[in-house]
Chains A and B, each alone.
Chain A
């Protein structure tokens, strides 16, 4: 399985697909959890690229705000309108999720191009990418609850805690399933 994934991703076309999706997902995830901010009003910036780290960063490095959302320890300013909060655990999580989503899409792309299979299953597999995006919480409540005006119950609040690990599980399963299908397809068509 691993060598099959590796051989697919070593092809430039599919690697590019994975990379583009990875970058896009990373940005969407960070924006969704409020760690990538686009400000309309100009803030005074000393230069285009400024990094500020909190003096108490050691206390905050692994401090959780909500399940799987960690405190930022600093900010990177890109000009006057873009801010990126620096949180190492969140960046690791975003990288893991982005890689898994990228791999999923690249596999869907592969099945579509090489085997003529419908990409719909690949799109379905992306359902697993949604939970982490909506898992971000603001002050008191999950962001999505505010956006759609949902009334939060204790059960829903508890379920929220498991969004990220469930999502990682779903994405891993989806990769495994796609690879299995490709392997069977390759065997039938005599590619392997």
Chain B
């Protein structure tokens, strides 16, 4: 009887293992596809002209995309963000916790880094007074220290949400759009393959600041809730890469990078924070954030244009605009130097 039972247990074990193996190979992507052929055809028909130089650049990025470990949507984007009040946020957020602040259209909200480190993208739909809905994505890449807001419109008539592809280039998050499955490295904000190849997404600013600073400036802010639809460790010590608060900063404070970047420049330590500004012609400027803190205002050239970057001490953040037209804001965001220079090797550096 005993032998009979033991034999059965072994058999059951082998069957369970086989099921897992089969399941694994059959279900590499668990999210149903939302790609429509109509959308793909439409994007292909109206594809932008890409210069030879640009084409080479985008192809190199695509060829250097590597798997980070988790598969497509293995890092799940937050699809329907829930929010709480600031006073509710006070119960679990520390004053010096990093938050990504959004003040765009009628959305004023803080997205704690503790949550976005596990999701990297929050897809939100804004309802405008005109009745129109606008899809936007709040994105954060922990390995390159970049937070960028993207509008979901790939072209005027096609708007999409975004997911995490599981691939990285220069350690930077590669998003994919759910309308055409094209891949978009976050720092570039441009599609490197698929039907949207060569197109750029419109951006809106995201403020990298602390919870204390953000709620002081926006006392009525909403805060992204920990009810994300997923179970993750959103605790104070939950960031698997390290900490921006503790002395032991882990990945954020070390000089090592996890994936070999395409271009390197060791003039600064790899994780030095620079304010990155670029234009559609790939002109790029990196301003040492420490210098901006000291000088408050920096004027520099971005291609042919003169830009002015001003420091906001209340938020410890910055804004950039064209000198001749102060209303013409250009998106500027914090980035780790190694990642910025990997995408923009010809960047100007302001120290």
Contact = CB atoms under 8 A, between A and B. Distances in A.
A85 B261 CA distance: 35
Nearest to B173: A140
Given A60-B230, A74-B231, A157 B260 contact: no
B69 interface: yes
A74 B117 CA distance: 20
B6 A140 contact: no
A146 B231 contact: no
A146 B117 CA distance: 15
A151 interface: yes
Contacts of B5: 6
Contact of B259 (A6, A146, A152): A152
A192 interface: no
Interface stretch (A20-28, A34-42, A104-112, A183-191): A34-42
A64 B237 CA distance: 24
B328 interface: no
Determine chain B's interface SS by DSSP, over half rule: loop
For the side of the interface on A, what is the size category? Answer: 35 or more
Q: Which of B142, B231, B240 has the most CB of A within 10 A?
A: B231
27 contacts: A2-B10, A3-B2, A6-B3, A7-B2, A34-B233, A34-B240, A37-B235, A65-B75, A66-B71, A67-B71, A72-B230, A73-B231, A83-B233, A86-B231, A92-B16, A96-B16, A99-B13, A139-B142, A140-B75, A140-B142, A142-B69, A145-B69, A146-B241, A146-B258, A152-B66, A154-B66, A157-B68
Interface in A130-185: 137-143, 145-146, 149-154, 157-158, 160, 165, 168
B219 interface: no
A10 interface: yes
Contact of B74 (A64, A85, A143): A64
Given A5-B6, A146-B240, 10 more contacts: A64-B24, A64-B27, A66-B74, A67-B24, A138-B240, A140-B142, A141-B69, A141-B258, A143-B240, A157-B67
A87 B10 CA distance: 23
Q: Which of A92, A140, A145, A154 has the most CB of B within 10 A?
A: A140
Interface string B72-89: 001110000000000000
Interface of A: 2-3, 5-7, 10, 34, 37, 39-41, 43, 54, 56, 60, 62-68, 71-75, 83, 85-86, 89, 92-93, 96, 99, 137-143, 145-146, 149-154, 157-158, 160, 165, 168
A6 B256 contact: no
Interface residues of B, number: 49
A132 to B, nearest CB: 12
A64 B30 contact: yes
Contacts of B237: 39-41
B48 interface: no
Q: Which of B66, B118, B143 has the most CB of A within 10 A?
A: B66
B348 to A, nearest CB: 28
A41 B75 contact: no
A54 B229 contact: yes
Q: Which of B68, B235, B251 has the most CB of A within 10 A?
A: B68
Contacts of B109: none
B68 A141 contact: yes
B80 to A, nearest CB: 10
A88 to B, nearest CB: 12
A89 B23 CA distance: 11
B257 A151 contact: yes
B95 interface: no
Contacts of B20: 68, 89, 92-93, 165
